[in-house]
Structure 1
Amino acid sequence: MLRWAIIFLIVALVAAVLGFGGIANFSFEIAKFVAIIALVLFIISLVANGMRGRGGRV
């Protein structure tokens, strides 16, 4: 999922350099949204894994 965020960020940067402000803004907003969703899912995964416990594994 972070791969998609990076792809949209690169598209936004290229569009900004080429002068396409609307596309750059839209791509940046998508990249930000996908990155936030990935971060939320990562935190939920950490919490769920911590609550389940890994008895005996290091």
Structure 2
Amino acid sequence: MIVLGLILLIIGLVASIPILTTIGVILIIVGLVLNLVPIGGTRRRVY
């Protein structure tokens, strides 16, 4: 999700499309939050 956000952010800045830049920033923030906050317990489950 972070990589997708970076790609959209770069495309939005190069093509000067503000909606892509906004979506890119939102995806980067959501990706960082999901990686830092443990959801569903403290252990990562491997199936």
**TM superposition score normalised by structure 1:** 0.58
Q: How many residues align?
A: 41
* Percent identity of equivalent pairs: 32
Structure 1: tracts of 5 or more residues without a match: 17-23, 53-58
Q: Find the residue that maps to 2:36 and give its secondary structure.
A: helix
Deviation at 1:11, TM superposition (A): 0.9
Cα deviation, 1:2-54, whole Å, max 9, x if unaligned, reads: 110111011112212xxxxxxx1100110011011111101113xx54xx4xx
Trace 1:27-38 onto structure 2 (pairs within 5 A): 27-38=20-31
Match of 1:44 in 2: 37
**TM superposition score normalised by structure 2:** 0.69
Structure 2: tracts of 5 or more residues without a match: none
Q: Find the residue that maps to 1:31 and give its secondary structure.
A: helix
State the distance in 2 between where 1:26 and 1:37 align: 17
**Structure 1 or 2: more helix by fraction:** 1
- Stretches (4+) displaced over 2 A: none
